[in-house]
Amino acid sequence: MSATDTLLPEASADGGRRVDVDLLVVGAGPAGLYAAYYAGFRGLRTAIVDSLPEPGGQVTALYPEKMVYDVAGFPGIKGRNLVAGLVEQAARFDPVYVLGERAEHLTNEAGHRPRAGERLVVTTDKGTRIGTGTVVITGGIGTFTPRPLPGGAEWEGRGLTYVVKELAAHAGQDVVIVGGGDSAVDWALALDGLASSVTLVHRRKNFRAHAASVADMEKGSTVIVTDAQVDSLEGDGRLHTVHVKHKDGTVTPYQAQSVIAALGFTADIGPLETWGIDIVDRKIMVDTAMRTSVPGVYSAGDITEYPGKVRLIAVGFGESATAVNNAATYLDPDQPLFPGHSSDDPAGIGAAASS
């Protein structure tokens, strides 16, 4: 059974959905999926809630075909394959997925602000009530929306896209990529040789992408157009031409059946700001145990902040394990903080439960 096949429990007495677990993970990105695995390893019943309709968070939504090179043990792995592996890893403990629902309110069972030691209740925008002993927030950057290409709204679905779901969809096409960050350069590298032609348009001279990636792009066949921006799109039902305006005011037409606008995205952590958590610049402040300012609530991954923070998927994995282990001792102070290594258990599971 896949993550999206997992069903919610029956309706509660008040008519809304009710889920009861030991630990709730808010955010089904890589850090959240690993937290679900580790919570299961510690013998905790776990649920995962995410506003997106499928697991994977930003990786699934924005760059499923992108190669990720900084995950330990993988010289390179596609985003979608990394997510699939994490879902499979967590599946052995059968977490409950509450997908397509945003976590909105944090209260105790009586509907008030929770105090230390009380059971927590997280209510979603769809009315699902999730009762839990602890919460681990791994919301990445929160809810994110791609920045639109000016004047491009009417072309969405007719040649303009903000996400490359399948590289093969652009095979044999003339592709124009707009942007100067890592995503724009990575898509140019990935499509070079697969697309009929690749043109990258960036409004500045210098790129924000990794220097090594830019150097690789410059060695390839991508046509690089800097100090310029898309002026208009043209087509007859489907896109066929992109008009690019240069700094001197001249406009050059480029043949294109596809435009990929990699202009970044806006982020919003939304309802989390009402939970009483210490938040600075849309980041959740945590201590070395990944504790937030609210008892029983922990956080890990890109949404967290502390001195020396480094935002990498690999770092998020470690933070998730730290958060879950500390959450386990919050639930039961007699449990050890460190349950031992998974390799110590012949079955690879249940180390904590048998402690």
- Does the structural domain 148-263 have CATH classification 3.50.50.60? yes
- pLDDT of 14-58, one tens digit each? 557 899 999 999 999 999 999 999 999 999 999 999 988 889 988
CA atoms in the 13 A half-sphere facing the CB of 332: 15
pLDDT at 58: 81
Tell whether residue 20 is among the known ligand binding residues: no
**Secondary structure of 72-121 as H, E, C letters:** CCCCCEEHHHHHHHHHHHHHCCCCEEEECCCEEEEEECCCCCCCCCCCEE
Residue 173 marked ligand-binding = no
pTM metric for this prediction:
0.75
338 annotated as belonging to a binding site for a ligand: no
Is 231 annotated as contributing to ligand binding?
no
Nearest C-alpha neighbor of 69 from the set 189, 223, 195: 189
How does strand 197-201 pair with strand 174-178? parallel
User: Which is the CATH superfamily of the domain at 3-144+266-344?
Assistant: FAD/NAD(P)-binding domain (3.50.50.60)
d(CA 323, CA 35): 8
pLDDT at 155: 93
Residue 230 · residue 253 · CB < 8 Å: no
pLDDT of residue 2: 46
pLDDT recorded at residue 173: 96
- Identify the pLDDT of residue 353: 44
Position 1 scores a pLDDT of: 36
- Cβ neighbours of residue 90 under 8 Å, at least 6 residues apart? 33, 34, 36, 37, 40
d(CA 355, CA 86): 25
Which residue from 33, 41, 40, 44 is spatially nearest to 2, judged by alpha carbons? 33
Query: What residue spans define the domains of the chain?
Result: 3-144+266-344, 148-263
DSSP-assigned beta bridge partners for residue 107: 121
Bridge pairing between strands 129-132 and 18-20:
parallel
User: What residue ranges of the chain have pLDDT lower than 50?
Assistant: 1-13, 351-355
302 is in an annotated binding site: yes
pLDDT at position 350: 53
pLDDT score for 49: 96
